[in-house]
Structure 1
Amino acid sequence: MTKRSKAFNIKKGDTVKVIAGKDKGAEGKVISVLIDDQRVIVEGVNRVKKHEKVVNQGGGNTGGIVTTEAPIHVSNVMLVDGEGVTRVGFRREEATKTRADGSTYTVQRSVRVSRKTGKDI
């Protein structure tokens, strides 16, 4: 049985600030989002050392001790908006789309909005 995952307010490419943990106060860009684990990987945050085995097939890795970013829980980061951090809200807006035959129709789109400034993210 798989657990149902919740929609995230943080997306790949966003700049976030760590608000809890050993790297509190650090800012970085989101490299990837792990939806099932509710975690994000942030550039330059939560760096750990991994021991990698030497693989000689087809120009594989050279092995040794490699420093890389580990995932951090999404509740420990906040989105950076301007100079400070902000919570994320959503606004529904209408848009018109065109079908292949040339007819148009309206759809509802969800847009991320800064709770602090009210501007689109």
Structure 2
Amino acid sequence: MSDQKKLHVKKGDRVKVIAGKDKGTVGEIIAVDPSNERVTVQGVNIVKRHLTDRQAGGRTVQGGIVSSEAPIHVSNVQPVVKKDGEEVVTRVGHKRVKVTRTRADGSEHEVYRSVRIAKATGEEF
């Protein structure tokens, strides 16, 4: 059994920040760190780093002040879905659906698969 934690969001999800200095900002998740329960959201929690010039692979990489996104805790974001043409925040539920799979020998069989559903709309996302 792995010690990997399950998060309610994953890479590529559109989320809204519900707490912190960027509260209300909507963006896409660009990185997920399940072991630390942190996500990096595009355009959220921008930090500036001061980098010096350095050698990398035989060439000089120029330093300076670089802005980039820093991770935030996963509890500070909530998924966003489209409902009646506008974006609304939602909680995440799970549902088991029956799917048909094909075996290597060509025969088919039915199995169950867990999918994420948006509580606000009841649709899979």
Q: What is the TM-score with the length of structure 2 in the denominator?
A: 0.88
1:120 corresponds in structure 2 to 124
Pick from 90, 93, 98: which aligns with 1:86?
90
Q: Are 2:44 and 1:40 equivalent residues in the alignment? A: no
DSSP-derived class of the 2:28 partner = strand
- How many equivalent residue pairs? 119
Instruction: Give the strand-richer structure, 1 or 2.
Output: 2
| Superposed CA offset, 1:11-35 (max 9, x none) | 1111100000111011111101111
Q: What is the distance in 1 between the residues matched to 2:32 and 2:109?
A: 33
Q: What is the TM-score with the length of structure 1 in the denominator?
A: 0.90
Alignment of 1:74-113 (within 5 A): 74-82=74-82, 83-113=87-117
Q: How much identity, in percent, do the aligned residues show? A: 53
The answer for unaligned runs of 5 or more in structure 1 is: none
| Superposed CA offset, 1:67-90 (max 9, x none) | 100000000000011121000101
The answer for unaligned runs of 5 or more in structure 2 is: none
Shift of 1:60: 5.5
Shift of 1:57: 2.8
Q: What is the distance in 2 between the residues matched to 1:64 and 1:81?
A: 38
1:17 corresponds in structure 2 to 16
| Superposed CA offset, 1:84-114 (max 9, x none) | 1000101001111111111222221111101
Q: What is the distance in 2 between the residues matched to 1:20 and 1:108?
A: 36
Q: What is the distance in 1 between the residues matched to 2:81 and 2:46?
A: 24
Q: What is the distance in 2 between the residues matched to 1:60 and 1:68?
A: 21
